[in-house]
Amino acid sequence: MAERALRGTRLGATSYENDRNTDLAPRQEVDYTCSRGHRFTVTLAAEAEVPMTWECRNCGVTALRVDGEAPQAKKGKPPRTHWDMLMERRTVEDLEEVLAERLAILRAGRRRTA
């Protein structure tokens, strides 16, 4: 009889196990809402650290935990620009001197070709 029950089925494609007599790990459900009004629930392990933000399943916007506060923005250094790095190495007077030298070279090259 057991042979007939398995005949014609794809072994490995379908699980014949059931959830009876199985103890699942303790879980917790956490509610999130995004700025566009979508509300959804995420199931996490009971001992897991619950994040304050989660990506919205509907629109992809960052959602905030319902019972939580908005995370504090981290203060970061502003990005260094080329000008900032240049000013670390030279003064304005040095730059004016280099500019004058380069302009003199360019003007001298134009006079020769003309």
Greatest C-alpha distance within the chain:
103
Residue 56, burial from CB neighbour count under 10 angstroms (0-12, 13-18, 19+): buried
Closest CA to 66 of 45, 55, 56, 52: 52
User: Which residues contribute to the annotated binding site?
Assistant: 34, 38, 56, 59
* Owner of token pair 């302009």: 103
Determine phi and psi for 40, rounding to 5 degrees: -150, 165
User: Which residues contribute to the annotated binding site for Zn(2+)?
Assistant: 34, 38, 56, 59
Helices (H) and strands (E) in the chain, counts: 3, 4
